Amino acid sequence: MRLACPHCGTIATIRSSKELSTTVREASVQCNNVECAHTWVTRIVADRTIAPSMTPNPKVYIPLSPRSPAAGKSAANQMELGMEHPPPRMATG
């Protein structure tokens, strides 16, 4: 996982992380730009389900994305799932 520094845009390094819950992880992140040196804490959250687990943990609830194929959308919409896939290219004629 690559994170950009919110101040200078340089790729940063995750220095340490700890599990806050089964769906939330907190990480200390340090900018790789020595002139910036920003260090911060970020959270990684299991936010939406795209494809349901085949071995679900009954104690875990991650809501289904409205764009998930499992939510009843057509296959044509599967390419619009946000960060996991780039948006479809538009024909420019």
Residue ranges binding Zn ion (CB under 5 A): 5, 7-8, 10, 31, 33, 36, 38
Give dist(CA 22, CA 60) in Å, integer: 7
Residue with tokens 């002139």: 35
Cβ closer to Zn ion: 9 or 66?
9
Give dist(CA 27, CA 38) in Å, integer: 14
Quote the tokens at residue 17: 């992380």
Q: Say which DSSP state 10 is in.
A: -
Whole-number minimum distance, CB 50 to Zn ion, in Å?
Answer: 31
Cβ closer to Zn ion: 3 or 44?
3
Cβ closer to Zn ion: 12 or 68?
12
Contact 59, 22 (CB under 8 A): yes
